[in-house]
Homo-oligomer: A and B are copies of this chain.
Amino acid sequence: MKIVKPSTIAGVMELLPEDQLAFDRMKNIIEETFKKFQFLPIDTPVIEKNEILFAKGGGETEKQIYEIASETRDMSLRFDLTVPLARYVAEHFADLNFPFKRYHIAKVYRGERNQKGRYREFYQCDIDIIGHNSLAIANDAIPPRVIYEIFNKLDTPDVTFKINNRKLLNGFLNALDITDTTDVLRLIDKKDKIGMENTKNELLELVDNQKADKILAFIASDLKNEELLASLDDFVDNNLYREGLCELKTVYSYMIHLGIPDKNIKIDPSITRGLDYYTGTVYETFVNGYENIGSVSSGGRYEKLAENFSKQALPGVGMSIGLTRLFYQLKEIGLVNTNESRLTDILIIPMSDEENFYAIDILNKLHEEGKRADIYLEGGKLKKKFSYADKVGVKYAYIIGQSEREEGKVTIRNMQTGEQELVDFANL
């Protein structure tokens, strides 16, 4: 028999069971919290028609896609969960209730060049609220509220939400008579990476000194949220700016009222989140003390979810967690607690096959009581059996020899201390 070297394709995350349990625990916390806030699950096919995936026009995305090698070359693996959501809402429009709150936790695919921390297959965890014709601005406070609770339940420090509103930012740039805003926005977006001095120098290549100073004052305030919002009242003035500021104030007040502490919110007029998709509220989320790993959950408000698939006006707001990358990052910095997610507490060890049935009686009893117990049914020496219990990491081994069986007892061994105790079956 020829042996093929067993290996996965490059650029994917495959975990050993212990880490998988920790990963699944995170995924479950995310899913349970999504459900607590009444987001409904959807599950769409991994393979979509190319005409759906590229309805918006290909560009960068098309190069990254995994296409299926069928004769017709007309389908590919999804690269995000947003296009499938748009297709789903448009296809099932008549059967959905709006606002439609959905979550979707699933794998997406990108033929990325292979580099550290970048994955070709990774989990996205998305929540979105989709309105029909309109969607109240108060909804924009819900996604960060959900994300806040998720990170509270994970083994991480607190998070800080940076929030902004694209109307405020665009209105501000309009008020400065900056019409070609793309380069300025790109610069604002990378200000934390390049530092304030470089930002100013590069700004001066695009606008005059006075405007550069005004932009820097706008995007780099140290004021607290309430004061910052007050200071923005008179900063510049036009309709778009005022609409954006009003929305930002509203979203902030709802976030507070929904229970996100003020200290976990940072209103930040420099947040842009991509240049053409989001139209109002935008958010980024940072783990306090670990800001260098980047935003762990981002999103925002958009006006036209499914304009390529439907004539219905479908505004929405949502946030997303890139779980595979997040798990990798949290593990790297030691914030994944694998002990929390171990499976087995008790391993029942019959000394020989003669004891198996009695050992199974004990297993059945422990299972009835909701205990996390397993049984070791292989032959071999006791040493080998203890070694298995050690490696699996159980807290207790229940040892069943002939005398235990005959007397209806169990020897309970504490695997940490090595202490043993003989207990009646009836008193387990």
Please give the residue numbers on chain A whose beta carbons come within 8 Å of chain B beta carbons, in ascending order: 1-9, 12, 14-17, 20-21, 23-24, 35-38, 40-49, 51-52, 55, 66-70, 73, 75, 86-88, 90-92, 95-97, 99, 101-102, 107, 109, 111, 120-121, 131, 134-136, 138-139, 254, 257-259, 306-311, 343-344, 353, 356-357, 360-361, 364, 367, 372-374, 376-379, 388, 391-392
Contact = CB atoms under 8 A, between A and B. Distances in A.
B3 A309 contact: yes
A17 B360 contact: no
A111 B75 CA distance: 12
A52 B21 CA distance: 25
B6 A309 contact: yes
A38 B333 CA distance: 29
Contacts of A16: 92, 95-96
12 contacts: A6-B86, A7-B49, A7-B91, A14-B45, A20-B40, A38-B344, A67-B69, A68-B69, A69-B69, A97-B392, A131-B378, A139-B377
Interface centre among A75, A97, A109, A372 (most CB of B within 10 A): A97
Contact of A38 (B70, B372, B391): B372
A247 to B, nearest CB: 14
A194 B307 CA distance: 54
Contacts of A41: 17, 20-21, 24
- Copies of chain A in the complex: 2
Given A67-B69, A131-B378, A14 B88 contact: yes
Nearest to A97: B391
Contact of A21 (B1, B3, B40, B48): B40
Given A68-B68, A136-B353, 14 more contacts: A4-B309, A8-B45, A9-B75, A20-B42, A38-B343, A38-B373, A45-B121, A47-B109, A66-B70, A99-B376, A99-B378, A138-B377, A254-B356, A257-B361
